[in-house]
Structure 1
Amino acid sequence: MMGFWNVMMLPILLFSCLMGGSAMSAPAGNLNVLADGERLQDRRMTDLKTHDTPWTFQKPASLDEWKNKRDRIRRKILISCGLWPMPESGQLKYEIFEKKENEDYTVEKVLLETFPGYYATGNLYRPKPDPANPSRRYPGVLCPHGHWTNARLAHTADDSVLAARSISFARQGYVCFAYDMVGYSDNKALLDHNFGGRREALWGIIPAGFQLYTSLKALDFLRSLPDVEPKRIACTGASGGGTQTFLLYAVDERIKAAAPVNMISAHMQGGCKCENAPQLRLDINNMDIGATMAPRPLMLVCATGDWTKNTPEVEYPAIRSIYELYRKPDLVAYHLVDAEHNYNKESRQAVYNWFARVFYHDRPQSDFVEKDYVMDPTPDLSVFAKHPIPEDALKPEQLFEALRVSREKQLWDYLEKFKPSAMEIYSEAYRETLAVKEPEFTEISTSHNQRIPQGEATVEKFLLENESTGQAVPAVLWTPGKLDNQREIGAVLLIHPEGKSGLIGEGGILKEPAARHIEKGIPVLSIDCLGTGEFIRDASWTARAKAQSATGYAHFATYNLTDTAGRVQDILLAETWIAKKFGKPAKIIGLPGAGGWVLLAHGLAENSMENEADLSNLDFSNDHCFVEDLYIPNLRRCGDFATSILLAGNRPIRIQGCADPAMNDRLKRAMDAGVASGGD
């Protein structure tokens, strides 16, 4: 592999003839596959999804099939939230202070460090100590909240007072931790709820990830308390708190009972950044995630006046079908409330009854009826009413940089120390992040086929299609009159940032390096990757481009592939088609402007060999090109080019044109790690 690294370090020579090199003896002609005005039926343009797109639950055929899907859902959540591998966690660090004694419960304030320099904020509600049994332990309840005004500190209508259930849980015999969403209530002083943009998302530093990690640390905290039974923990929240509830129980089986309220729906998946981690719902939905609780006890509280109104007929039967696979259908139930979006008294009572069935089945139901309550004044609940913000709390930009550095360090600790799980962990993250793969030969087809003789050579124009992904990719294949039958590759796949038309020079003459390969008797295939060539002639492209713009749909990447991921998908389709047609692997060449796409595809392109990528004109400073030219959320978190190189194993790639010393060092480091781990 070092030989290829040496090539990488040479001046840019490989593609220097691209813009003015020698030409074929015959003109290349019009390369458009579609007639003027004909629409390109690619589902990535025509079938864009949002959080309001209806879903149909796909019931697995067997329990084993479901368990495999469940494990993938868990992995997918963690990867999309930037928590794969899990951040290294030191000793649990928290402060409990300013206890207030009430008649039949106590309430305290909590600062809980999650990431170094960032703190969760909340209140801890406890039963009054039992004089007859001062060492008694109680079940614990985690109470995340939704997007109500003032949230944890709300004093408004009954449908949104978080303290009501916290007080009741403590009175009923639970230790309850009610904690803030990121950037809500007390937490506003530490971080904005909608923090971050594209650069932060590249590193998996996103609101959804912060909230899920906060919930995981809250679970650690609650289980560590001396008056809590660590194996008897429940979680409940409404609206966005419902999302936090099912994301937590999906990834952590320490939650033994759950009640997501007014959230799980087949036709609304949550409308906030904190609920829409990138890539999360490309092929799963909240019914799938909700069902991961099985076979643990689950209560679905729904309302006639919001998106959960169909739960009795749609979401409940879907999730119950998974419990039936475990032969535990009695461990899931629903309660429909005739109300608007809420966590009102009736909803709370349904949850009290459900948790009592799980944790206190030997006590009378009357013990769990909500009593009248008086909410504690805000100063008695607000963490920072008297207590200063911790001195080591980081400002947002400092926090981002600290997390970026720690995640890069974690990558190289895994890759260079060759932990047994290193490649498994980062390869899983890479595959889920790009969310594309090589198709099966049987999935590939062509249409709009046109065959045009050009002297001794032949030009074929067609659409490369994959029905399972909805791809319809314009392609052109040049076949020499005299094939080199001794060649090791089936054909060269040339990727140009403008598509196949970028290979044509003045007078319609085919430019280098395409002409050179054809003269050697090697077929050349070129395609219009997503968003290039014939794609941008189509009206549907305008809609897709608008949806991804700064003023477009904020959660686009949660439900749809980004353009860069789609381009990698097209490269994988084309190189697999070459292997199918010729019975030999493809050689993929990424020309300047498209070299990054090819380098990202390289690790997944098992039907290729000896690929080449030119990284000229890519600005790697401050992640600029990853933000502007190669955007896929979580890409840098999962190792980007480095992981692709290592995934390729003994399939080398020739890289050049990178003018950034830090990126060159990083690429060399990846290649060296590949050699040491048994690659080429």
Structure 2
Amino acid sequence: MKSIARVLSELPSLKSIGATVVLLSSLTTFAHAADPPATVPVRELRDLNKSYFPFTPVKSKEEWAVRRAEILRRTQVACGLVPMPTKTPLNAVIHGRVERDDFTVDKVYFESVPGHYVTGNLYLPKKPGEKMPVVLCPHGHWPNGRFMNLNDAGVKKEIATGAERFENAARSPLQARCAQLARMGCAVFHYDMLGYADSLQFADASGNIEHRHGPKAHGFISADAESQLVGYFNLQTWNSIRALDFVLSLPGVDSARVGCTGASGGGTQTMILSGLDERVTAAFPCVMVSTAMQGGCTCENTNHLRIDQGNIDFAALTAPRPIGMTTANDWTKELDTKGFPDLKNLYTMLGVPNNVTALFAAHFPHNYNHVSRTAMYNFYNKHFKLGLEEPVLERDFQLLSEEEMSVWNAKHPKPAGDKIGESHEKALVKWFTEDTAKQAAPLLAPRTEADVAKQREVLGAGWQVLIGGKMPAKGESVHGLGAKEDKGGYLLMRGITTSKLGGVDTTFIYPKQWNNSVVLWVSLKGEASILDGNGDLTPAATKLLAEGFSIACPNLYMKDAKKNPNVYDDGKKKLDSFYGYAGYQYGYNPSLFAERVRDVMASIAMIRDNDKYRTETLYVAGVEGAGPIAAAAVGIAQSKVNQLFVDTEGFRFAKLDDVWDMNFVPGAVKYGDVPALLSLCAPVKTTVVNETKESIAPAVATFGAGKASLELVGKAEGKGTEAVVKALVERR
């Protein structure tokens, strides 16, 4: 069946809806002969275990540049790096050197943020070259992390299967990696992931790190933290960035040869860090680059991260810099046919096909064994131009004891008291929140048009990611006609607006004397806001119709839901993988608020992008719980909207204490809450109900600096829907 947009596009240019009605009447038989569109289905729920995360193919370098920018910005926002947190002094402490035959090992701790310590060991060659290459070594979820020491039975198995050559390397493949790289002339920093080895500040009293999978008031798994995009993954990524700062501050290192390599969770950190920070010149993530399972820990997941992208995309961010990877008999076993060919094609298109490589070794279980490490040594030998004979093979080494590795001792006491556990979590949430507020303050009080542009660059980019979609291009959003009724004084039509953002049931009311203006009526009541239980026009719709407006009313996604229905079904959780952490839901799926904003964006595009329909003026009205939704959509649509009328009802994201609330959006408070959403609507002429100059001061400042029109409707002029309709009629 043709869409109504296409039908209208084939009509001659019309100046009044009356003529349109006459022509549409001749199409009545056609419209009713076809089956009406089905109701918009519940949108597919994605998760880290069962979903498929393919790479989005690109056809040219130019197309890749656009796609790469999208992946990078989403990743930066998801990691809490927009704006970039303040880099405070590291206050690095290096002590307790241990001597080995041809390398040394130092104990290191430094502060990635005030009061939070990154701990690890620094391996250095005894006879370094003029400039030492640098390799960061984050580890995965191996038992005891940096202190890993496999038992005798495990050692025998590793050697028997050909996974390892030496007993010491089998006991600790993590130490083996660092020792060999130091012997190759590299400065190697092996640092703890959160809650492992010397990273004691995130272990509970029993040393159990599983406390990271449950709600904690004001801690990392709480509405407070999610609203600010603070979390384990974000902190661990920040630790990696600061670890890079640390190693590049060491004397004698070569900033032109910087590597990062790790397996499993360490592979996740490797590809994220190298994608975010171009100071990494060659990356080698192991057993993690995959189109399947994306990483199961809270330290590998965060809100917004894997919406429309996944681990193949993160690996691709390193291009055209060299990247190598390995597979195993795990979620990476199909990489040779799913994912790697895309990376190979990308690197070939960029003119550096030899800068991407992979070892396919699905006969081994999840690992970073000698076979995989050998591939990594040869990778760095090649790209760092070390000049060693290949294959570069490990030699046996003397294993370090836990005492020799631990950074804490009597002279350097481990954190205690309020520096560990929940009190430490709360302190970090507070630090990141206050740091963001300090950086956002100038953005929320712009004085010049340049300030407004900067606001959109940061806050606007943040909200773009939080909503998770761009405006559909011309022709991408169309309306499929389902049913049409001639109601005498007006035409009532129903159907589905579809675009790349999804589909939304939409009701249209057309007066027979049209003023060439459309009111996009956005309400959480949906059609019930313009048609009462008897199918008659509501007072609001009656008044707008009398003024000659046509009305488009989308039934926003799951408009009757009170909690996020992607998570809850009759009060029961649909998924068993949340562990109390919102990032397992919002890291893979848009929030319900975002889904609804995207419905409005699709509706705006459908109305404005039909050349033949000739809508001269588009008004957006946000009422009955949908005010912030309408503002968010207009903030993205901008020039496609002539005027916005919004009743906020005093809503603020900061008041929400339930991450499954229908309006909860991770990061909404970080990016300025409702006042920032209103600010981003400038320069669209905007009228706001239920707010004062003081309550939306950022918007008042933004509209003033940009010389745009912002009007406030006080209680004396009515309230809610009545006030919006009155303002629309009088101030259009």
For the criterion TM > 0.5, the same-fold answer is: yes
Alignment partner for residue 475 of structure 1, among 501, 506, 520? 506
Alignment partner for residue 308 of structure 1, among 332, 350, 369? 332
Residue 318 in structure 1 maps to residue 347 in structure 2: no
Answer yes or no: is the 8 Å Cα contact 2:489–2:511 preserved in 1.
yes
Match of 1:631 in 2: 664
| Structure 2 CA distance for aligned equivalents of residues 176 and 551 of structure 1 | 35
User: Deviations for 1:289-314, whole angstroms, at most 9, x for unmatched residues?
Assistant: 212222322221112x1122223333
Which one-letter code corresponds to 1:455 in the other structure? Answer: G
Alignment partner for residue 665 of structure 1, among 680, 686, 694? 694
| Structure 2 CA distance for aligned equivalents of residues 540 and 70 of structure 1 | 30
Partner of 2:557: helix, strand, or coil? coil
Residue 569 in structure 1 maps to residue 598 in structure 2: yes
Alignment partner for residue 133 of structure 2, among 120, 134, 139? 139
| Structure 1 CA distance for aligned equivalents of residues 226 and 240 of structure 2 | 20
Answer yes or no: is the 8 Å Cα contact 2:653–2:664 preserved in 1.
no
Which one-letter code corresponds to 1:224 in the other structure? Answer: S
TM superposition shift of 1:243? 1.0
| Structure 2 CA distance for aligned equivalents of residues 38 and 326 of structure 1 | 44
Answer yes or no: is the 8 Å Cα contact 2:189–2:247 preserved in 1.
yes
TM superposition shift of 1:389? 4.1
User: Deviations for 1:117-142, whole angstroms, at most 9, x for unmatched residues?
Assistant: 32212111122256xx8xx4321110
TM superposition shift of 1:360? 4.3
Query: Relative to structure 1, is the Cα distance of residues 41 and 656 closer, same or farther in structure 2, using a 3 angstrom cutoff?
Result: closer
TM superposition shift of 1:590? 1.8
| Structure 2 CA distance for aligned equivalents of residues 75 and 99 of structure 1 | 41
Structure-to-structure mapping, 1:590-609, within 5 angstroms = 590-606=622-638, 607-609=640-642
User: Deviations for 1:541-566, whole angstroms, at most 9, x for unmatched residues?
Assistant: 95999448967985222222211001
| Structure 2 CA distance for aligned equivalents of residues 375 and 205 of structure 1 | 37
TM superposition shift of 1:377? 1.6
Match of 1:149 in 2: 143
Alignment partner for residue 266 of structure 1, among 287, 291, 294? 291
Answer yes or no: is the 8 Å Cα contact 2:562–2:662 preserved in 1.
no
Answer yes or no: is the 8 Å Cα contact 1:182–1:211 preserved in 2.
yes
| TM-score with structure 1 setting the length | 0.84
Match of 1:59 in 2: 57
Partner of 1:225: helix, strand, or coil? coil
Structure-to-structure mapping, 1:357-396, within 5 angstroms = 357-365=382-390, 368-386=392-410, 387-389=412-414, 393=419, 395-396=424-425
Residue 334 in structure 1 maps to residue 358 in structure 2: yes
Answer yes or no: is the 8 Å Cα contact 1:494–1:514 preserved in 2.
no
Partner of 1:236: helix, strand, or coil? strand
Residue 445 in structure 1 maps to residue 478 in structure 2: yes
Comparing 263-272 with 563-572, which one deviates more in the overlay? 263-272
Structure 2: any 5+ residue segments left out of the alignment?
1-31, 155-169, 204-208, 214-219, 710-732
Residue 520 in structure 1 maps to residue 547 in structure 2: yes
TM superposition shift of 1:36? 14
TM superposition shift of 1:398? 1.9
Answer yes or no: is the 8 Å Cα contact 1:492–1:586 preserved in 2.
yes
Which one-letter code corresponds to 2:619 in the other structure? Answer: K
Alignment partner for residue 653 of structure 1, among 680, 686, 692? 686
TM superposition shift of 1:226? 0.7
RMSD: 3.3
TM superposition shift of 1:115? 2.3
Match of 2:158 in 1: none
User: Deviations for 1:398-443, whole angstroms, at most 9, x for unmatched residues?
Assistant: 2212211221221122343655644323322221221123323412
| Structure 2 CA distance for aligned equivalents of residues 442 and 458 of structure 1 | 24
| Structure 2 CA distance for aligned equivalents of residues 266 and 544 of structure 1 | 32
Match of 1:170 in 2: 182
Query: Relative to structure 1, is the Cα distance of residues 81 and 249 closer, same or farther in structure 2, using a 3 angstrom cutoff?
Result: same
Which one-letter code corresponds to 1:526 in the other structure? Answer: C
TM superposition shift of 1:651? 0.9
Residue 500 in structure 1 maps to residue 527 in structure 2: yes
Number of residue pairs matched?
Answer: 629
| Structure 1 CA distance for aligned equivalents of residues 535 and 554 of structure 2 | 17
TM superposition shift of 1:535? 13
Comparing 160-169 with 538-547, which one deviates more in the overlay? 538-547
Answer yes or no: is the 8 Å Cα contact 2:223–2:657 preserved in 1.
no
Partner of 2:367: helix, strand, or coil? coil
TM superposition shift of 1:244? 0.7
| Structure 2 CA distance for aligned equivalents of residues 576 and 544 of structure 1 | 35
| Structure 1 CA distance for aligned equivalents of residues 124 and 702 of structure 2 | 52
Query: Relative to structure 1, is the Cα distance of residues 532 and 548 closer, same or farther in structure 2, using a 3 angstrom cutoff?
Result: farther
Residue 510 in structure 1 maps to residue 543 in structure 2: no
| Structure 1 CA distance for aligned equivalents of residues 695 and 192 of structure 2 | 39
Match of 2:559 in 1: 532
Which one-letter code corresponds to 1:574 in the other structure? Answer: S
TM superposition shift of 1:341? 0.3
Answer yes or no: is the 8 Å Cα contact 1:496–1:503 preserved in 2.
no
Comparing 239-248 with 161-170, which one deviates more in the overlay? 161-170
Residue 584 in structure 1 maps to residue 592 in structure 2: no
Alignment partner for residue 276 of structure 1, among 291, 294, 301? 301
TM superposition shift of 1:620? 5.5
Answer yes or no: is the 8 Å Cα contact 2:652–2:673 preserved in 1.
no
Partner of 2:637: helix, strand, or coil? coil
| Structure 2 CA distance for aligned equivalents of residues 289 and 316 of structure 1 | 13
Match of 1:435 in 2: 468
Answer yes or no: is the 8 Å Cα contact 1:151–1:160 preserved in 2.
no
| Structure 2 CA distance for aligned equivalents of residues 426 and 619 of structure 1 | 16
| Structure 2 CA distance for aligned equivalents of residues 621 and 68 of structure 1 | 33
Answer yes or no: is the 8 Å Cα contact 1:597–1:630 preserved in 2.
no
Which one-letter code corresponds to 1:374 in the other structure? Answer: Q
Partner of 1:399: helix, strand, or coil? helix
Partner of 2:281: helix, strand, or coil? strand
Answer yes or no: is the 8 Å Cα contact 2:294–2:310 preserved in 1.
yes
User: Deviations for 1:312-347, whole angstroms, at most 9, x for unmatched residues?
Assistant: 333332211122123222222222233000011211
Partner of 2:364: helix, strand, or coil? strand
Identity %: 28
Partner of 2:255: helix, strand, or coil? strand
Which one-letter code corresponds to 1:353 in the other structure? Answer: N
More relative contact order, 1 or 2 (CA 8 Å, 6+ apart): 1
| Structure 2 CA distance for aligned equivalents of residues 539 and 263 of structure 1 | 27
Partner of 2:178: helix, strand, or coil? helix
| Structure 2 CA distance for aligned equivalents of residues 652 and 452 of structure 1 | 34
Match of 1:3 in 2: none
